[in-house]
């Protein structure tokens, strides 16, 4: 699989080298991975302001999930079902998956230019806020179209919404960590959305421990 020695996710999840915020907060010996599949690593999110907040990270160094091949897309759909069931077992609300998809030319909403999908349990959804801000299109299949593979976009999928996911192209960019801002607002911590400032160590560790003790099947 392709990887980049300049990418913090490649260093951590392809080469096993602690890096970035995790190394700074947890130390060299901490392995943040909860479990691996052939094409993805699942981990607690840095800035884990809600217990159960996970990331699905590609092992292949690509810019966005729109660039996944057919086998990776099938694997990702399976992982999303596993994580939605995990959240349903332990946490209130429903699973919200979101991505700040980036291309090489533009990455304003994404902090790390390596494809990753956020998975967070929320009692109150954020779709209405997203629709107000960007007028996204509906995706009945919930799969990110390959036609977005060289575009910057915002993607949101609620596990309880049978009508599909939402996607909006953002040629002019979006606020950094846009969806995290919305989630933080919904949870009454408006100013604590930035994972570079607020790591939420306790929630990060509890999420990691619960994930590792869970039977993923």
* Interval 8-57: pLDDT, tens: 777 777 777 765 555 455 544 457 899 999 999 999 999 999 999 999 99
User: d(Cα 69, Cα 214) in Å, to the nearest integer?
Assistant: 28
User: d(Cα 193, Cα 5) in Å, to the nearest integer?
Assistant: 28
Which domain covers residue 130, as residue numbers? Answer: 30-213
Q: Flag whether 12 is in a domain.
A: no
Cα–Cα separations (whole angstroms), residue 166 to 50, 78, 91, 94, 170: 22, 19, 23, 16, 13
**Res. 157 pLDDT band, cuts 50 70 90:** very high
List pLDDT tens digits, range 171-208: 888 999 999 999 999 999 989 999 989 989 999 999 99
Q: Flag whether 10 is in a domain.
A: no
CATH number at residue 195: 3.30.428.10
Return the percentage of the chain with pLDDT > 70, whole number: 87
Tokens describing residue 78: 């399976």
Across the chain, what does the average pLDDT equal?
A: 88
pTM for the full predicted model: 0.89
| From 52-56, 123-127, 164-168, the region with the lowest mean pLDDT | 123-127
Q: Flag whether 125 is in a domain.
A: yes
Q: Which residue has the higher pLDDT, 129 or 110?
A: 129
Q: Flag whether 87 is in a domain.
A: yes
């Amino acid at each position: 699989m392709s990887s980049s020695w300049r990418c913090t996710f490649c260093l951590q999840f392809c080469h096993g080298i602690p890096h970035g915020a995790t190394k700074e907060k947890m130390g060299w010996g901490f392995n943040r991975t909860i479990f691996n599949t052939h094409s993805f690593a699942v981990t607690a999110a840095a800035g884990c302001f809600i217990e159960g907040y996970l990331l699905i990270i590609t092992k292949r160094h690509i810019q966005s999930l729109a660039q996944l091949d057919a086998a990776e897309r099938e694997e990702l759909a399976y992982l999303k079902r596993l994580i939605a069931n995990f959240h349903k077992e332990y946490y209130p609300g429903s699973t919200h998956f979101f991505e700040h998809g980036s291309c090489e030319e533009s990455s304003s909403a994404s902090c790390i230019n390596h494809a990753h999908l956020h998975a967070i349990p929320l009692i109150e959804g954020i779709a209405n806020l997203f629709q107000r801000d960007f007028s996204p299109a509906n995706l009945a299949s919930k799969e990110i179209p390959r036609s977005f593979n060289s575009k910057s976009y915002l993607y949101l999928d609620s596990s309880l919404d049978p009508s599909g996911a939402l996607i909006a192209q953002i040629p002019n960019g979006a606020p950094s960590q846009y969806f995290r801002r919305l989630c933080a607002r919904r949870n009454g911590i408006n100013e604590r959305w930035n994972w570079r400032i607020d790591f939420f160590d306790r929630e990060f560790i509890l999420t990691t421990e619960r994930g590792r003790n869970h039977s993923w099947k």
